[in-house]
């Protein structure tokens, strides 16, 4: 029976029995030790007499005249040891019972709101490991009330993320958003009202979806399933219920919140700033698991604020029906944070300064023709020439390696063909095959037919 469902009286019962058990074990151990040391015949004692130390807390004591008498266990002799054990046991039991502290839904929401109101700005960098040593690198910064910076690129053992041709940096400002591609120095800019949400796929950003942290209080929060998703919204929503018992997730006692549709389950750790430890999304019927987010390695990054440094996302194929176990996984990725900072983001992080030669594509309200917004840009041609040279060098190395292995494979094939050709001919030719059998069976008869077997 889990300790977390014990009441206070049950805990007292546990502590009382623990004390008695420890005392009895101490008495029994001391009794056996002294009995062995006294070299006395154990048959002199009756069975009842042997149980007396554990039943009445007595131990044998050898007097100076060699006789043995029974005396009470001296509490002072084992007081220190028993106190240490008792303190540890009480701490463990208190920790377990503390997990059963019943909080009302209103209290959980209040703590959730308090923890989120402490976050004014946040800056993180994480990478998602892909096949072949490749990785997705993202740097994100958000600051109240409406500012966001998002930098996304790919890298690898031979690829610098800063030189990724598809690298994209997005600035969400007070009344506008700008997408900038550093390698080509091109931008796309659009107006954006302060109360509107963030543009494009940034509303599905993994870090925000997993942690449900949203410092952009003046902007509309994303709703992946059409209902409140972020902790600030959940704190004011009436659509979530609190499960009547806490659950242990990754060694932490968590409170479970469930949306009324049954499609959204989230486990939060109240003791660590109401951080989310696990979240699951289900289909329309609330029966088939669509996606799971697991957050681990939480660290305290500010007073009352804990963030995960590992985010594991798993999406399932619900089209496949299985009687046992989970459905096949269609997405299984692990994001690892390089750093996380809270309430230290400068306003300069959201200041976009277009470099020389920047070209605006599809200007808003114009003819759609590109226009140069900053003069110059000769250095851009130099940078692109360097980038092309690096790419050519990597390609040459890859081609050289590929040619080496191609030649090695061809040489190996030639060796195999030359070495095995006589055996292949012998097996393929009926005459040759008979010659091999003749050589094995009768060496004296193969002398005259020597040439036939070599065909």
Beta pairing class for 240-242 and 252-259: antiparallel
Cis peptide before 145, with omega less than 30 degrees from 0? yes
Q: How big is the chain by its Cα radius of gyration, in Å? A: 38
* pLDDT in the model for residue 107: 94
Question: Please, which pLDDT band fits residue 172 given cuts at 50, 70 and 90?
Answer: very high
Token pair belonging to 192: 């954006």
Give which of 145, 143, 150 is closest to 125, Cα–Cα. 150
Phi, psi of 236 (to 5 degrees): -110, 5
Most confident of 2-6, 124-128, 160-164, 363-367: 124-128
Element (DSSP H or E) covering residue 422: helix 378-428
Element (DSSP H or E) covering residue 313: strand 305-316
Span 404-415, average pLDDT: 59
Cα 351 to the center of its chain, rounded Å? 33
pLDDT in tens, 348-357: 999 999 999 9
Greatest extent of the chain over all pairs of C-alpha atoms, in Å: 116
Q: Which of 192-201, 206-215, 430-439 has the weakest average pLDDT?
A: 430-439
> What is the pLDDT of the chain when averaged over all its residues?
76
* pLDDT in the model for residue 434: 38
Q: How far apart are CA 112 and CA 115, in angstroms?
A: 5
**Structure-token match 């060496």, residue found:** 443
* pLDDT in the model for residue 455: 34
* pLDDT in the model for residue 405: 59
Question: Please, which pLDDT band fits residue 37 given cuts at 50, 70 and 90?
Answer: very low
Q: How far apart are CA 161 and CA 338, in angstroms?
A: 15
Question: For 160-176, b where at least 16 C-beta lie within 10 A, e where not — what string?
Answer: ebebbeebebbbbbeee
pLDDT in tens, 68-92: 444 444 444 444 555 544 545 555 4
Bin 108: left if φ > 0, else alpha if -120 < ψ < 50, else beta: alpha
Residue 322 has pLDDT above 90, yes or no: no
């Amino acid at each position: 029976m889990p300790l977390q469902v014990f009441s206070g009286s049950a805990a007292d019962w546990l502590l009382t029995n623990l004390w008695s058990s420890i005392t009895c074990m101490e008495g029994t151990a001391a009794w056996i030790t002294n009995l062995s040391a006294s070299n006395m015949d154990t048959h002199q004692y009756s069975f009842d007499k042997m149980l007396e130390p554990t039943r009445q807390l007595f131990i044998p004591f050898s007097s100076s005249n060699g006789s043995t008498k029974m005396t009470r266990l001296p509490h002072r002799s084992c007081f220190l040891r028993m106190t240490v054990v008792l303190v540890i046991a009480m701490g463990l039991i208190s920790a377990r019972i503390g997990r059963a502290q019943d909080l009302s839904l209103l209290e959980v929401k209040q703590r959730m709101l308090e923890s989120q109101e402490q976050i004014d700005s946040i800056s993180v960098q994480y990478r998602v490991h892909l096949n072949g040593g490749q990785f997705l690198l993202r740097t994100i910064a958000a600051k109240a009330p409406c500012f966001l910076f998002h930098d996304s690129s790919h890298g690898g053992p031979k690829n610098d993320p800063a030189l990724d041709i598809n690298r994209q940096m997005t600035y969400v400002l007070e009344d506008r958003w700008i997408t900038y591609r550093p390698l080509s120095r091109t931008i796309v800019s659009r107006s954006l009202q302060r109360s509107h949400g963030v543009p494009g796929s940034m509303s599905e950003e993994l870090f925000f979806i997993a942690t449900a942290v949203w410092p952009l209080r003046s902007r509309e929060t994303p709703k992946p399933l059409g209902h409140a998703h972020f902790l600030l919204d959940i704190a004011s929503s009436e659509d979530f219920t609190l499960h009547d018992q806490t659950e242990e997730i990754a060694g932490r006692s968590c409170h479970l919140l469930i949306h009324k549709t049954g499609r959204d389950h989230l486990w939060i750790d109240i003791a660590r700033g109401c951080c989310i430890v696990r979240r699951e999304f289900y289909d329309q019927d609330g029966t088939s698991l669509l996606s799971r987010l697991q957050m681990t390695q939480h660290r305290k990054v500010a007073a009352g604020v804990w963030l995960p440094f590992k985010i594991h996302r798993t999406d399932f194929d619900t089209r496949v029906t299985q009687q046992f176990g989970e459905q096949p996984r269609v997405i299984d990725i692990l994001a690892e944070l390089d750093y996380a900072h809270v309430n230290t983001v400068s306003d300069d992080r959201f200041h976009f300064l277009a470099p020389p030669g920047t070209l605006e594509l599809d200007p808003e309200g114009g003819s759609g023709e590109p226009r140069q917004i900053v003069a110059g840009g000769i250095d851009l041609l130099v940078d692109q020439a360097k980038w092309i040279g690096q790419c050519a060098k990597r390609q040459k190395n890859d081609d050289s390696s590929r040619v080496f292995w191609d030649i090695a494979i061809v040489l190996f094939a030639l060796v195999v063909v030359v070495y095995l050709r006589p055996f292949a001919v012998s097996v393929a030719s009926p005459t040759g095959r008979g010659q091999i059998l003749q050589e094995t069976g009768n060496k004296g008869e193969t002398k005259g037919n020597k040439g036939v077997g070599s065909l």
